[in-house]
Chains A and B, each alone.
Chain A
């Protein structure tokens, strides 16, 4: 068993603003809790700026740019004073980094665009923060289960977290990471896509769920809870016996503690 003392700690006093994201706040509180547990164990001071709400992606990606702008303003206002802003979602973090500046320009507010870009540059997905900023892959986690990993489109292609989540997973004690066929294919969630094109979304989710079930894994891991919600919605309906879990929750698990 690895103790906290054996893993590399972040520089003393690294202060992290947790960006919980709206969906995690209300629907998946266990995930931001796991981020708190993990980051504190790795020597960070975690704060939760109370003014936060959302990245605004649901508005932006549905074409409601004007409506997204005040949400962006709120994000910038809430997080502008922090050096490290960390969220457990490649999709929300990706939206902050890829869309906030554009929305500032759309609003005809170059000041907002500039500040949004600066805040976005300090916004990290949890996997990036741990690997790139803290310089760790072994976080002393223990998870004695068979898992398979779905990289999620926005973690992969918008936040571009690369192989960081997989490196973190593979360093977990006791874990078996099983390969997932067509792992880079979309699960069909796509935000409002699932509601606007429910039939195609269902067909895509069905493929993903089938590939996941075929791995024989006990847990399906991803860095985005809404993709997990989609895939596990199908798996649960089929009583497939595969549980969804966010990457941060695995990284927060330790030997001797129930997961």
Chain B
């Protein structure tokens, strides 16, 4: 296959969210992700309808979410002090956020003392620019070629990282002629599949093993060691193919890129928690290691890890202990990377921090327990959310970080039935349902402000008009009584029918799937007045 052909590698396979089309007309080094930006996704109900119609994804999500939910419940219930751990996690994060400025400076000081170089990034563009420059610098030292033909070239190997997805680092590197290779098994499936992740922890949860086999057979050979031609869809063999494909990249790469689960201020220690050992490879084999981390990941002391290394695995993978936990404190001669860089990223976080009602969302440790337990997420998966952060926490964090100007961001806080299951499982006790309601208020407030700048007054829109009228009616019983007097008439007219079937819009939103009972002939209030107060109507 020629280099040009790489841009259309997904042809012949059913597309998932968005269209797997090339972003660049020119030669790419890595598989092209779906076209367009996440923020341009349609608003949540529209995207959700599209996702609801994917049978493989529905089946996978139901099975996986049920399994992991059940397992999490078991491994948290077996600890007598789980609720105390949650309270401790909440308290530590709250203290950290309250004094974030001093902890960050302490972190910088101790990272620097340990031999790492600290960079501060205001936003995604700045972070990407810093990383691109650092990679170029590192590669210049190594006298490597830039031809991208599989020899040691302009490339980095990556530890699975949410924050680098948030800033779109892979595409920024691609644009700079640098290939960013994902090394987490599920992230490889996503990357080779010209796809997007749909979950924090299991980003390829929407794919089944037959699809994974096809992706590996079709794509691996375009970007390195091909999959064995007789590859079957046994998970063990799929993992084996990925292992062989990755091994040459691990051994060749001069630069590793990671996020961080935690950054310890008092010692300058960075922590990565992973399950496959690919992270350990990326953190130890390359000569240069670049770590990008959100500023909210800082923990004051090493001892604080005691709490979080219990909370995170049990909440996330439902494991009692995490398989590969890597901690490093600056470079060591002859042992692992010789150069270490840390990019501390804001990208909206200080704005969230400045909001006393919203800041508790910054406690999030990206465990995904709230996704796994969410009945809405289980139906639609991550692609419906138009963000790298899906599910309940993403429905808050995304509009907090990006603002509420786009259609998708306005719709996200409403992507919940407010059932509250997410709060019950959150290891740092983020009051997710309250924050969803709070963000809904922010959206309504933003719409009111926007309406002021347009010719169309806020109250001429359907929902605000209905809400305002209903609130006026319900703030006074006399108005409420007057408004509901007619309700019984329907019941009287409809005689003996007790349910109604499909009705026209907007009632159709309800009656397309559900019957609705005929209103009773008499309200409770009228009955009470007639029976108990002797008022004849």
Binding site for B on A (CB under 8 A): 20, 22, 24-30, 32-33, 36, 48, 50-54, 56, 58-65, 67-68, 70-71, 73-74, 78, 99, 153-154, 156-158, 184-186, 188-206, 229-230, 233-234, 236-237
- Least CB distance from B228 to A in Å reads 39
Q: Are A204 and B375 in contact (CB under 8 A)?
A: yes
Rank and list the top 4 A-B pairs by shortest CB-CB distance, nearest first.
Answer: A233-B514, A190-B417, A63-B440, A70-B475
- Segment of B149-157, B290-298, B463-471 engaged in the interface with chain A: B463-471
Q: Are B515 and A74 in contact (CB under 8 A)?
A: no
User: Taking the complex as formed, is B322 at the interface, i.e. its CB lies under 8 A from any CB of chain A?
Assistant: no
Q: Are A67 and B468 in contact (CB under 8 A)?
A: yes
16 new A-B contacts at CB < 8 Å, known A27-B519, A153-B417, A157-B421: A52-B477, A54-B474, A58-B470, A62-B467, A63-B437, A63-B439, A63-B441, A63-B444, A65-B441, A74-B474, A99-B437, A185-B421, A190-B417, A197-B376, A233-B516, A236-B499
Q: Are A203 and B379 in contact (CB under 8 A)?
A: yes
User: Taking the complex as formed, is B406 at the interface, i.e. its CB lies under 8 A from any CB of chain A?
Assistant: no
User: Taking the complex as formed, is B202 at the interface, i.e. its CB lies under 8 A from any CB of chain A?
Assistant: no
Q: Are A236 and B515 in contact (CB under 8 A)?
A: yes
- Least CB distance from B527 to A in Å reads 6
- Least CB distance from B53 to A in Å reads 9
Q: Are A53 and B419 in contact (CB under 8 A)?
A: no
Q: Report how far A124 CA is from B45 CA in the complex, Å.
A: 35
Q: Are A191 and B444 in contact (CB under 8 A)?
A: no
Q: Report how far A56 CA is from B416 CA in the complex, Å.
A: 19
- Using a Cβ–Cβ cut-off of 8 Å, how many residues does chain B contribute to the interface with A? 65
- Residues of B near A185 (CB, < 8 A) are 375, 419, 421
6 A–B contact pairs at CB < 8 A? Answer: A157-B419, A188-B417, A198-B513, A199-B49, A200-B376, A204-B376
- Residues of A near B45 (CB, < 8 A) are 196-200
Q: Are B484 and A195 in contact (CB under 8 A)?
A: no
- Segment of B91-99, B244-252, B504-512 engaged in the interface with chain A: B504-512
**Residue of A29, A48, A191, A196 with most chain B CB atoms under a 10 A cut-off:** A29
- Least CB distance from A200 to B in Å reads 5
Q: Are A64 and B475 in contact (CB under 8 A)?
A: no
Binding site for A on B (CB under 8 A): 44-45, 48-49, 52, 375-376, 379-380, 413-421, 423-424, 433, 437, 439-445, 463-464, 467-468, 470-477, 480, 484, 487, 499, 501, 506, 509-517, 519-520, 522-525, 527-528, 532
Interface majority SS (helix, strand, loop, mixed), chain B:
helix
Q: Are B416 and A193 in contact (CB under 8 A)?
A: yes
- Residues of B near A184 (CB, < 8 A) are 421
Partner of A200, one of B52, B421, B441, B514: B52
- Residues of B near A58 (CB, < 8 A) are 470
Q: Report how far A62 CA is from B443 CA in the complex, Å.
A: 10
Partner of B379, one of A51, A154, A156, A200: A200
- Least CB distance from A61 to B in Å reads 6
- Residues of A near B414 (CB, < 8 A) are 192-193, 196-197
Partner of A64, one of B48, B433, B471: B471
Q: Report how far A27 CA is from B276 CA in the complex, Å.
A: 56
Q: Which residue of A lies closest to B46 (CB)?
A: A199
- Residues of A near B480 (CB, < 8 A) are 22, 53-54
Q: Are B421 and A202 in contact (CB under 8 A)?
A: no
Q: Are B513 and A237 in contact (CB under 8 A)?
A: yes
Known: A50-B477, A157-B419. A71 touches B471 (CB 8 A): yes
Q: Report how far A70 CA is from B470 CA in the complex, Å.
A: 11
Q: Are A195 and B506 in contact (CB under 8 A)?
A: yes
Partner of A61, one of B376, B440, B472, B527: B440
- Residues of A near B522 (CB, < 8 A) are 29
- Residues of B near A29 (CB, < 8 A) are 520, 522-524, 527
